[in-house]
Amino acid sequence: MRRLLLLLAGAASLSAFVLHAAPQPPPSRDANTLYTQYCAGCHGADMQGNRASSLLDKKWMNASDDVGLRRVIRNGVRRSGMPAFSKTFSDSEISALVVLIREAAHRNADPAVEETYELPDDVQHSERHPYRVEKVITDLDVPWGLAFLPDGRLLVTERNGKLTESKRNKNGQWTKRTIKGTPPVLARDEGGLLAITPDPDYATNRWLYLTLSDPRPDETANTKLVRGRISKGKWVDQQTIYEAPAETYTNLAINFGSAVVFHNGYMFFSFGERGEVGQAQDLSRPNGKVHRLFPDGRIPPDNPFVKKSGALSSIWSYGHRNPQGLAIHPVTGELWETEHGPRGGDELNYIRRGRNYGWPAITYGMNYDGTPVSSRTKQTGMEQPVLHWTPSIAVSPIRFYTGDAFPHWKNQLFLGALAQQELHRLEVKGGRVIHQELILKGQGRVRDIITGPDGYLYVALEIPGPDTPDHVIRLVPADVS
């Protein structure tokens, strides 16, 4: 018996040694280094072409899309003398190279926006409506969220923690004041005072919902959802609706999300993955999720993970990176979401109950340092985005237009972009985008979009650069004087 135990112990030790000594896969290399070392000799250091053709004009002979590019890099093109790199690059490194090529081709086709930021004073023409652009209020500091109250007041959250209230006086001019007593925020990087959303029954209960980067004394923070009221210029009656566990707070000031929408008595609110890569797949953590609550913070008993051991019962969907946009289709009730990818891979998603949207197991982007996130863009059991963008446009807010001033825009989805400074119009049907149009470009980073009580489309713009005042503009039909 003693000999048997010694043999078993020896076998266990040998097994542990073998496992410990097993070679580990080499770390992924960054795409720029790989391109310089293996690709530049043929395609040129600037991708403009050398022995082989340019990669920037998108006139690729052997591929027409990302799938084709991956195939060509992996398998090579024998007749053109291009070697196969399947044994040189990992699948994730090949994906990163595709992102690098896409970014360079985009920069070549779409030069940098000229940073004048002068609003056009003439009539602008879209496919459906001519319109003019008017400045509403200015001297804001990163206007993050917009909300109209029934009496016509416009509320603007600013990243620095201010809640600004504006209204039109008898002369048609917009005046503004700062609401006092709002909750403290971590106003750093992507943190601050974020979304603002009135309760659907605001006319009777006067509740306003805020999301914010909630600071702790140890300089950590996390996304938090509160509600309160405005009375005589002050924020009062504050209640905490959702607060993450203390152990999830981090000193990373990125990827907070977030947005709030209401539908059929429920509230949906998005929570970023906070730079903690992998937690979006962890159902015991709030990070990287869309949550569903009753307006007072209670958990609906029919949420998808209520009975799943170890899962947060507030979760509606998961696998999100940094979801800054949520919108409910005014006719169908569909829930739509936008989220920032890493370097490439921004997404527009149609959100459904209990679904997994993949981050970081699948993605169309790569890390900011050029190394891969994942070798996969698809996986069984994970949802595909309705649209994705590489290079990143930095998708931010989405809103359905619900006014009457632009009848041919009614119930269509408007999407904003930060990096590309764009406002898009999307026609959606059956969970798909069937048409899209660029409405504005180069007027500033689009932070939020909302339909005003006058039926005009209001847009919050962050103007890049030091000491540049940010503002809210509106799109007005061209025939309105």
In a domain, 22, yes or no: no
The boundaries of the domain holding residue 57 are: 31-109
Q: Are 417 and 396 in contact (CB under 8 A)?
A: yes
- For residue 197, the surrounding DSSP H or E stretch is strand 193-198
The phi and psi torsions of 151 (rounded to 5 degrees) equal: -85, 5
| Rg of the chain on CA atoms, in Å | 25
Q: How many domains does the chain have?
A: 2
Both 52 and 180 in one domain: the answer is: no
Average pLDDT of adjacent 10-residue blocks, the chain of 481 residues:
40 39 65 86 72 65 82 81 85 89 80 70 96 97 97 97 95 94 96 98 98 96 98 98 96 95 98 95 98 98 98 98 98 98 96 98 91 94 97 95 98 96 97 98 96 98 89 95 66
The phi and psi torsions of 93 (rounded to 5 degrees) equal: -70, -35
Integer Cα distance of 437 and 379 in angstroms: 30
Q: What pLDDT shows up at residue 2?
A: 41
In a domain, 349, yes or no: yes
Q: What pLDDT shows up at residue 417?
A: 97
DSSP assignment string, 93-155: HHHHHHHHHHHHHHHHHSPPPPTT-PPP-S-EE-SS-EEEEEEEEEEESSEEEEEE-TTS-EE
Q: What pLDDT shows up at residue 38?
A: 84
pTM of the predicted protein model: 0.84
Total length of the chain: 481
Q: Among 274, 265, 269, 175, which residue's Cα sits nearest to residue 222?
A: 274
Q: What pLDDT shows up at residue 36?
A: 86
Both 183 and 48 in one domain: the answer is: no
Both 43 and 181 in one domain: the answer is: no
- For residue 222, the surrounding DSSP H or E stretch is strand 221-231
Both 260 and 371 in one domain: the answer is: yes
Q: Are 273 and 286 in contact (CB under 8 A)?
A: no
Q: What pLDDT shows up at residue 393?
A: 95
Q: CA angle, corner 383, sides to 440 and 306, nearest 5?
A: 115
In a domain, 17, yes or no: no
Strands 413-417 and 130-140: unpaired
Kindly provide the b/e burial profile for residues 178-204, where b requires at least 16 CB atoms within 10 angstroms of the residue's own CB: ebeebbebbbeebbbbbbbbbbeeeee
Both 311 and 173 in one domain: the answer is: yes
Both 412 and 317 in one domain: the answer is: yes
Both 218 and 79 in one domain: the answer is: no
Q: Among 238, 241, 239, 240, which residue's Cα sits nearest to residue 298?
A: 241
In a domain, 444, yes or no: yes
Integer Cα distance of 458 and 147 in angstroms: 10
Both tokens of 461, joined, read 């713009």
Both 84 and 138 in one domain: the answer is: no
- The side-by-side arrangement of strands in the sheet containing 208-215 is 193-198, 208-215, 221-231, 234-243
Contacts of 97 (CB under 8 A, 6+ apart): 31, 34, 35, 39, 73, 89
- The domain that holds 57 is classified in CATH as 1.10.760.10
Both 168 and 312 in one domain: the answer is: yes
Both 99 and 156 in one domain: the answer is: no
Domain termination site, one of 109, 135, 150: 109
The phi and psi torsions of 428 (rounded to 5 degrees) equal: -115, 145
Domain termination site, one of 109, 144, 160: 109
Integer Cα distance of 178 and 234 in angstroms: 9
Both 162 and 72 in one domain: the answer is: no
Both 414 and 341 in one domain: the answer is: yes
In a domain, 450, yes or no: yes
Q: What pLDDT shows up at residue 4?
A: 38
